[in-house]
Amino acid sequence: MLRLTCAAERERNKLCSTARQKKHEFSVDMTCEGCSNAVTRVLNKLGGVQFDIDLPNKKVCINSEHSVDTLLETLGKTGKAVSYLGPK
């Protein structure tokens, strides 16, 4: 029987969790660094996300297990216009 060490078990769980996450792309009407900071703030508050903000192209790519609806609602808390562009 194979027994994993605690460190190996944690690494396996992390890899499995990452594999379940889906990457989504959103358009967010960001015009300045303050806007991108607002996006960062609401996504960090939500938790369970990894994201990249492309301010010049007004896009946010999010890797998360959260639903698209949850992500749209969260991004909407910035007060900016948000739309879902699709899976990335």
Output the DSSP codes for 27-45.
EE---SHHHHHHHHHHHHH
Q: Would you call 75 exposed, middle or buried from its count of C-beta atoms within 10 A (0-12, 13-18, 19+)?
A: buried
Whether pTM exceeds 0.75: yes
Residue 45 lies in a domain: yes
CATH of the domain at 49: 3.30.70.100
Q: Does 7 map to a domain?
A: no
- Which region holds residue 79: left if phi is over 0, alpha if psi is between -120 and 50, else beta? left
Domain count, the chain: 1
First to last CA, the chain: 39
Report pLDDT digits (tens) over 12-47.
Answer: 455 444 446 799 999 999 999 999 999 999 999 999
Confidence bin at 11 (pLDDT 50/70/90): low
Task: List the domain range (segments joined by +) for residue 47.
Answer: 22-87
